[in-house]
Amino acid sequence: MKVNSTRRTPPRIRLPLWAVSLLGLGIIILLIGSSVWLYQTVQATVSSLEVINPDFANPNSSSAAAVQTLPAPSSSDSSNNAADNEPAPILSTDALRPWEGKNRVSILLLGIDQRCEEDGPTHTDSMMVLTIDPVGLSAAVLSLPRDLWVEIPDFGVDRINQAHYLGEIYEYPGGGQALAVQTVETLLGVPIDYYVAVNFEAFVEVVDLIGGIDIDVLEAIDDPNYPDRCYGYDPFSIEAGKQHLDGETALKYARTRATFGGDVDRAARQQAVILAVRQQVFDLNNVTQLIAQAPQLWHTSQENIRTNMTLDEAIQLALLAQDIPRDSIRTAVLNFDYVYNETTPDGRQVLVPVRENIRQLRDQLFAPPAIPTPVIENLPALMAAEEARVAVLNGTPEFGLAASTQEYLQSFGINVVEIGNADASTYLTSQIITYGSYPNTSRYLTQLMHVPPLNVSSGTNPDGDYDILIIIGNDWRVPGS
């Protein structure tokens, strides 16, 4: 089969989804976003679609059936007539349609720390959350330090980079990616729709394919203990100033922690690296190069990327993100305004989250613009007249939160008659359930606890002697606590 040689006017180059993520995790969006215009160019090199497990996944994991990888290239079969064997299309008709969803979409991006050709459970080296608002055409990226000390559902408190490893080694439903998603949901109190996991090979290869990147190194770095791909050392140093980095050097620059800020500084460098990748890719001279290297890009994606997105969903999200202006993309790192250093009883150095500050940052990055609450005169008096009995149940792993919430609400005249634990400790957002007609008490509670209207509902037959039930979610902290 011959490739159509008709020259087409190249599409207008715009910012794709991958360009707002960090480090090598942005590679998947590069591949996906590029596939729209790569389709006709590389169609002759792709003759089938194949779903496989990438090298960093445990092929015996119970999560294998739920995971997808991107389309893989295959050599053409010379024994078959080309006319009778048309290549399977890479994209469906639906893939090129605009994203139709109106709700915010959040994606957990995972960098996998795979060494020495490991094929078993692995830790994550980088974690970040990408969120897109399809209505307001805005996006944000939040980087999470790997040493963040968090609650891992069903496994207790540990570093956040342990979640993927524990999920794989204990065959958690959905595997390491699912446990990592639940851990981040528990930390931030926001739902995660998709995950994308990538290992170092994808990042190194794509940076080399685009000819390297230009970085303005803010400070000299000397890291004699930089880890190699196995369990030894590969010393790394770089001078301050403008530098041109190949893939391997760019990976070292993004991964080293040999600066005063350690893991926090590293997250900021990762942002600088991905912006440099964006700049290099959208140099028009590199578009032609990427087209020529398309088969290698597909090969990289097949072996080194894992996601629960369908190809259609990923392409539609990439096309959506192309319409987001650069100044509508926010990036943030959980730096020392949001964490503090601590040593665990067994001697590990970790970063403990300052939850109230993280909650405020989360609300800035992930919440839609606030809808003004109607002002009701004498609302406390109207609430008191209803004489509603309120129960507070703790739906988080934080000990004592129901009791401190009771004390807080009672200071405003709320009649809290019962506290306890909810049926689970994994509620992402707080809920208010009203049994009967107590509109003013319900309205007052939503204002005091900042509960969104969609989280307020009515019920029948409560399980106790109360009229309103509050289930505390991970989005709630007692002010001033």
**Above 50 in pLDDT, residue 8?**
no
Q: For residue 98, name the pLDDT band (cuts at 50, 70, 90).
A: confident
* Residues 86-94, mean pLDDT to the nearest whole number: 48
Q: For residue 96, name the pLDDT band (cuts at 50, 70, 90).
A: low
Tell me the whole-structure pTM to 2 decimals. Answer: 0.60
Strand runs (DSSP E) across 60-146, as ranges? 105-113, 123-133, 138-144
Is residue 367 within 8 Å of residue 395, measured between CB atoms? no
CA distance 255 to 145: 12
Give me the pLDDT at residue 303, please. 67
Give me the pLDDT at residue 401, please. 94
Give me the pLDDT at residue 1, please. 38
* Beta-bridge mates of residue 333: 143
* Residues 461-478, mean pLDDT to the nearest whole number: 92
Q: Which residues contact 125 (CB under 8 A, 6 or more apart)?
A: 111, 112, 113, 146, 161, 200, 255
Among 26-35, 122-131, 396-405, 406-415, the range scoring the smallest mean pLDDT is: 26-35
Give me the pLDDT at residue 29, please. 42
CA distance 428 to 421: 15
Q: Which residues contact 78 (CB under 8 A, 6 or more apart)?
A: none
Is residue 99 within 8 Å of residue 73, measured between CB atoms? no
Give me the pLDDT at residue 283, please. 62
* Residues 303-324, mean pLDDT to the nearest whole number: 78
Among 25-29, 162-166, 267-271, 445-449, the range scoring the smallest mean pLDDT is: 25-29
339-343/349-353 β-pairing: antiparallel
Give me the pLDDT at residue 434, please. 93
* Residues 216-240, mean pLDDT to the nearest whole number: 86
Strand runs (DSSP E) across 176-264, as ranges? 194-199, 213-217, 221-223, 236-238, 241-245
* Residues 331-348, mean pLDDT to the nearest whole number: 88
Give me the pLDDT at residue 304, please. 73
The pairs formed by 1-9 with CB atoms below 8 angstroms and a separation of 24 or more are 1/44, 1/82, 1/83, 1/86, 1/87, 2/44, 3/40, 3/41, 3/43, 3/44, 4/40, 8/40
Give me the pLDDT at residue 313, please. 83
| Distances in whole angstroms, Cα of residue 69 to Cα of each of 25, 163, 180, 302 | 14, 21, 18, 6
Is residue 434 within 8 Å of residue 359, measured between CB atoms? no
Q: Which alpha helices (DSSP H) does 170-239 contain, by range?
A: 175-188, 200-209
* Residues 235-258, mean pLDDT to the nearest whole number: 90
Determine the angle formed by the axes of helices 247-255 and 200-209, rounding to 10 degrees.
130
Q: For the segment 138-166, what is each residue's pLDDT rounded down to a tens digit?
A: 888 898 988 898 889 888 889 999 999 99
Mean pLDDT of the chain: 75
Q: Which residues contact 343 (CB under 8 A, 6 or more apart)?
A: 349, 350
Give me the pLDDT at residue 163, please. 93
If we measure between CA atoms, which residue out of 165, 256, 251 comes closest to residue 208?
251
**Above 90 in pLDDT, residue 70?**
no
364 vs 391, residue with greater confidence: 391
288 vs 2, residue with greater confidence: 288
* Residues 371-390, mean pLDDT to the nearest whole number: 80
Q: For residue 293, name the pLDDT band (cuts at 50, 70, 90).
A: low
Give me the pLDDT at residue 371, please. 45
If we measure between CA atoms, which residue out of 323, 213, 221 comes closest to residue 274?
213
* Residues 202-227, mean pLDDT to the nearest whole number: 86
Which of 327-331, 365-369, 411-415 reaches the highest mean pLDDT? 411-415
Give me the pLDDT at residue 46, please. 34
Q: Which residues contact 318 (CB under 8 A, 6 or more apart)?
A: 16, 17, 18, 29, 32, 33, 36
**Above 50 in pLDDT, residue 62?**
no
Q: Which two tokens stand for residue 402?
A: 């129901």
97 vs 389, residue with greater confidence: 389
Among 9-23, 123-137, 347-361, the range scoring the smallest mean pLDDT is: 9-23
Which of 33-37, 187-191, 269-273 reaches the highest mean pLDDT? 187-191
**Above 70 in pLDDT, residue 60?**
no
Which of 206-210, 364-368, 460-464 reaches the highest mean pLDDT? 460-464
Among 10-14, 43-47, 85-89, 412-416, the range scoring the smallest mean pLDDT is: 43-47
Q: For residue 37, name the pLDDT band (cuts at 50, 70, 90).
A: very low
> What DSSP letter does each residue of 352-413 carry, written as one string?
EE-HHHHHHHHHHHHSPPPPPPPP-TTHHHHHHHHT--EEEEE-SS-TTHHHHHHHHHHTTT
* Residues 286-295, mean pLDDT to the nearest whole number: 54
Which of 1-5, 48-52, 145-149 reaches the highest mean pLDDT? 145-149
If we measure between CA atoms, which residue out of 280, 266, 272 comes closest to residue 221?
266
Give me the pLDDT at residue 193, please. 93
* Residues 239-262, mean pLDDT to the nearest whole number: 88
**Above 60 in pLDDT, residue 6?**
no
470 vs 99, residue with greater confidence: 470
CB neighbourhood size of 81 (10 A): 9
